[in-house]
Amino acid sequence: MITDAAVQDGLVNGQFFLEYLPTVSLVDGRCLGAEALARWRRPSGVVQPDTFIPLIEGTYLSGMLTYWVFETVASELGDWLRVHQHASIGVNVPPEILGRGGLQYLATKPGVSEIRNQIILEVTERGVPDNMGLAVLETASRSGVRVALDDVTLSATNLVILSRATVDLIKTDASLAAQITPDCPCPAWLSGLSALLQSTPVSIIAEGVETEAQATALRSAGVTMAQGYHFSRPISAEQFKAYYARSNEPSG
**Structure confidence by residue, pLDDT tens digits, 10-64:** 999 999 999 999 999 999 999 999 999 999 999 889 998 989 998 888 888 988 8
Task: Indicate the DSSP class of residue 100.
Answer: I
Ramachandran category for residue 42: left, alpha or beta (phi over 0 → left; psi -120 to 50 → alpha): beta
3-state secondary structure of 198: helix
CB 129 within 8 A of CB 93: no
Amino acid letter at 153?
T
Q: How confident is the model at residue 165 (pLDDT cuts 50, 70, 90)?
A: low
Asked whether the predicted pLDDT for residue 235 surpasses 60, the reply is: yes
Question: How many alpha carbons lie under 13 Å from residue 112 in its C-beta half-sphere?
Answer: 19
Query: CATH for 4-246?
Result: 3.20.20.450
pLDDT of residue 198: 78
Asked whether the predicted pLDDT for residue 72 surpasses 90, the reply is: yes
CB 89 within 8 A of CB 35: yes
- The mean per-residue pLDDT over the stretch 179-198 comes to 86
pTM, rounded to two decimals: 0.91
pLDDT of residue 105: 67
Q: How many helices (H) and strands (E) does the chain have?
A: 11, 9
Percent of the chain predicted with pLDDT > 90: 50
Asked whether the predicted pLDDT for residue 248 surpasses 70, the reply is: yes
Amino acid letter at 236?
S
Spatial distance between the Cα atoms of 41 and 14, rounded to a whole number of angstroms: 9
Amino acid letter at 89?
I
Beta pairing class for 146-152 and 119-124: parallel
Residues paired with residue 219 on neighbouring β-strands, in sequence order:
none
Asked whether the predicted pLDDT for residue 129 surpasses 60, the reply is: no
Greater pLDDT, 105 or 219? 219
Is omega for the bond preceding 95 within 30 degrees of 0, making it cis?
no
Spatial distance between the Cα atoms of 164 and 212, rounded to a whole number of angstroms: 34
Average pLDDT across the chain, whole number: 85
Q: Any idea where the domains of the chain sit in the sequence?
A: 4-246
pLDDT of residue 45: 92
Ramachandran category for residue 45: left, alpha or beta (phi over 0 → left; psi -120 to 50 → alpha): left
pLDDT digits (tens, 9 = 90+) for 90-102: 999 887 776 666 6
- The mean per-residue pLDDT over the stretch 134-162 comes to 71
